[in-house]
Structure 1
């Protein structure tokens, strides 16, 4: 029997899905008592757990809130799992990730979702109770998902802040709770089929897919009471007939997409049961040995050996090289292995470098250095939003947000004295650091980058390496 101290962290994504912390319903009646407080109780073998949910003024998280939370977890992983547990983004980026649309009403929905996720709290009681006993000892732990939110809005001076509009490109900072952030760093997240998620048109279908995947047994058949499953899904009404109606459209969509092979109901009334039959995942009869070079590359970026072996079998050496090159180009990563695996599973989320087939360490290093800035600069979901955010800030903040880009691309042309002069002019507002970095990025793949930098330096009186070298060569020897 699994002891409590060996259990998966309670805020792991799979556990959050299993216990229905976010209701699959898109709407919940505001005056329903279950919109403020609810209880879910489950028994698995000798393990018994109860989850008590407590929602704030904004009600219980529901529907697309699960997409929002997943987007935040993905961004947290993509940004290297920062030590301060924060995700720095924009409302535009999250709306694009979740809805693939930028309609104005979606920003209002995003704000409501973030507030619900921020205000909700849970108490999880988990214990081991032997089958021949009615008594047990329980561990009780309070949990949360988001500890703080910071965002920008616009509105009339005397209007209530609730009437202000969320800025699409304003800086949005979300601090995840310490347990949730720690569980993501440790790699406790669901291995979901991103394409299937994208193909699901309804939030209720996406939410049910996550729920089912968290409970999916090895034999691909799941049976439970309809009333219990409804509670687990966060369906407020306990009438089995209404639970069936709520799930019906999601069942049809997941069957049409081939995830579910069938859904069957047996019995009547309170004892009625639902059985899910999953479409089996085809597996090879015998596993081939993992590619030795691919395995070594994945181990270098701290992918656990069992996952590295699996990935070295499933993906080509070129795919692994590209993923590892990208990971090595990122700085201050807290979960390099997790990022490498996510790149392999979801390559469309990233703009990956073309890696040359050579095995030369020096060439791989050079490719990584180029990839660092080009990828960060040209990724629409990150760079463009960041630039728009920086433009709204003062000149000092613009410099702080752009200096790493400028230093990387201007290295070898501007001298240290030139960088100091540039910093002074940017901080004083004489040069726009954001615009200058944009101009450099636009020339990263062109031959005129150096010429542009030299002309810019001459125009603004910035010291260059070339000028310093000429001066040194012309200085008389003493």
Structure 2
């Protein structure tokens, strides 16, 4: 299905990198996991590229079943990007899960609320789940500063609660679990700046896709916040990076021409030049959005940390993914209790060939396979586990309050008119379809008059989105401001 943005889009100019405050995961952006092509033939179910990373051979492969429409392409990149953005906004939880609705995803990605786009969204999510990627010696382990090999699907799991039938609609609630390597990169803050407003303003899927791949190549490992003023690459290699099937230079140029034209007209690119001939052709991009050499600010992002009990399991050698699943399946209180029983068993002289395997077995045991060690009392331990769970919840609340305080300080540092504009944009983004323009103008007047604080509105709509209460919030806004209109 070929879809493009309809209607007149606002001519947003590119934001200088030094002023960007949105970010995307750097590995998937740099590797260009989504083909920039808007349409692909039915048999385009695999691509395989080889390149060098730090003067070492690297490889990236994608295999996707034909029944899902081949390899990810076109609008798939829009939805993959906005899922990363929403995951960051929701605190980058360790589970890797994004809570949203089909309507919110379309709105955030800049698409209209129509059956055609809901179908396209459903197809895109299916494709992102079906396609399997293998990045060989080309995935950056930011924490250890090394290149690794990972195999993953961009989406690991999709849970959809549809209201009528099997197709997506405005009321479809979604729970989307992102790939573990992507989650870990984001939680380790391996990110690159993202000009989301500019992306949303670009009309064609081809232009948006090329922009994302091109922009990612401006930021190098070790200098993730410093955008290059120029980028050059062999044209045929660039076609492979963009996941084009074309290999003939003239056809590559023709395929990218319309995207180049839009990015030049919009001021993101200063020029696109070619040097050499045939297989030796080099494409040279010069960027027009760098009025200063100041790098983008380091991302100020609070991720939700692993629970203390999961960390404790890992200290005994339990694999991180197993530790997280045990806590998710059995709950913190029970896992804490079983951990203390295990520790009492070891202290009492229980011989284990492998402590991590014994610990996992003790947690999973529901048949009484392991007798309580001498001196171990279950009920007091259970009470202690409950207290510890309450302590963890209190700590999480304190961390959330600290993050909100920082966001509030940044927001309140703006002048009042900018605060009001930003709050109104947030309301328009999430519930603009459900609120009349007159009511939105009444809300803006109320903020300018000091009758309501812009930050209160900004936080309220953001909180309603994360808690899937946008319908209630829209009702409140209508109730107050429709009358004033």
Per-residue CA deviation, residues 240-263 of structure 1 (Å, 9 max, x unaligned), is 222111110110111111111111
Q: 1:237 to 1:438 in 2, by over 3 A?
A: closer
Partner of 2:290: 281
1:435-474 alignment, distance < 5 Å: none
Partner of 1:258: 267
SS of corresponding position for 2:189: coil
Partner of 2:28: 16
CA distance in structure 2 between the aligned counterparts of 1:17 and 1:255, rounded to whole angstroms: 21
Q: 1:175 to 1:237 in 2, by over 3 A?
A: same
Partner of 1:185: 187
CA distance in structure 1 between the aligned counterparts of 2:459 and 2:397, rounded to whole angstroms: 9
Partner of 1:92: 103
1:400-419 alignment, distance < 5 Å: none
Q: 1:36 to 1:153 in 2, by over 3 A?
A: same
SS of corresponding position for 1:252: helix
Of residues 219, 237, 249, the one that matches 1:240 is: 249
Partner of 2:167: 165
Partner of 1:26: 38
Moved more, 252-261 or 168-177: 168-177
Of residues 185, 201, 204, the one that matches 1:202 is: 204
Tell me the TM-score normalized by structure 2: 0.56
Per-residue CA deviation, residues 302-334 of structure 1 (Å, 9 max, x unaligned), is 9xxxxxxxxxxxxxxxxxxxxxxxxx9987659
Q: Kindly indicate whether residue 161 of structure 2 is the aligned counterpart of residue 78 of structure 1.
A: no
Of residues 122, 126, 130, the one that matches 1:111 is: 122
Partner of 2:58: 49
CA distance in structure 1 between the aligned counterparts of 2:427 and 2:114, rounded to whole angstroms: 26
CA distance in structure 1 between the aligned counterparts of 2:75 and 2:455, rounded to whole angstroms: 33
SS of corresponding position for 1:92: helix
CA distance in structure 2 between the aligned counterparts of 1:279 and 1:269, rounded to whole angstroms: 28
What's the offset of the Cα at 1:195? Answer: 2.7
Tell me the TM-score normalized by structure 1: 0.57
CA distance in structure 2 between the aligned counterparts of 1:180 and 1:47, rounded to whole angstroms: 23
What's the offset of the Cα at 1:170? Answer: 2.1
* Higher-RCO chain (CA-CA 8 Å, sequence separation at least 6): 2
Partner of 1:386: 469
Q: 1:84 to 1:22 in 2, by over 3 A?
A: same
8 A Cα contact 1:54 1:120, kept in partner = yes
What's the offset of the Cα at 1:94? Answer: 0.7
Partner of 1:413: none
8 A Cα contact 1:196 1:257, kept in partner = no
Q: How many pairs does the alignment contain? A: 318
What's the offset of the Cα at 1:280? Answer: 5.4
Partner of 1:37: 46
Q: 1:235 to 1:330 in 2, by over 3 A?
A: farther
8 A Cα contact 1:18 1:232, kept in partner = no
Partner of 2:80: 69
CA distance in structure 1 between the aligned counterparts of 2:197 and 2:458, rounded to whole angstroms: 23
What's the offset of the Cα at 1:109? Answer: 0.3
Per-residue CA deviation, residues 200-223 of structure 1 (Å, 9 max, x unaligned), is 111111111111111127652222
Partner of 2:418: none
Partner of 2:214: 212
Q: 1:142 to 1:283 in 2, by over 3 A?
A: same
What's the offset of the Cα at 1:384? Answer: 9.6
Partner of 1:430: none
CA distance in structure 1 between the aligned counterparts of 2:207 and 2:86, rounded to whole angstroms: 23
What's the offset of the Cα at 1:146? Answer: 1.1
Per-residue CA deviation, residues 164-220 of structure 1 (Å, 9 max, x unaligned), is 421211211101122212222222222022232122111111111111111127652
Higher-Rg member (1/2): 1
SS of corresponding position for 1:89: strand
Unmatched 5+ residue regions in structure 1?
Answer: 1-11, 129-136, 157-163, 303-327, 353-369, 389-433, 446-478
8 A Cα contact 2:234 2:280, kept in partner = yes
8 A Cα contact 2:90 2:466, kept in partner = no
The alignment yields a C-alpha RMSD, in angstroms, of 4.4
Q: 1:335 to 1:199 in 2, by over 3 A?
A: farther
8 A Cα contact 2:53 2:138, kept in partner = no
CA distance in structure 2 between the aligned counterparts of 1:168 and 1:182, rounded to whole angstroms: 31
SS of corresponding position for 1:167: coil
CA distance in structure 2 between the aligned counterparts of 1:249 and 1:300, rounded to whole angstroms: 36
Partner of 1:448: none
8 A Cα contact 1:152 1:167, kept in partner = no
Q: 1:330 to 1:213 in 2, by over 3 A?
A: farther
8 A Cα contact 1:351 1:375, kept in partner = yes
Per-residue CA deviation, residues 215-246 of structure 1 (Å, 9 max, x unaligned), is 12765222211111001001122222221111
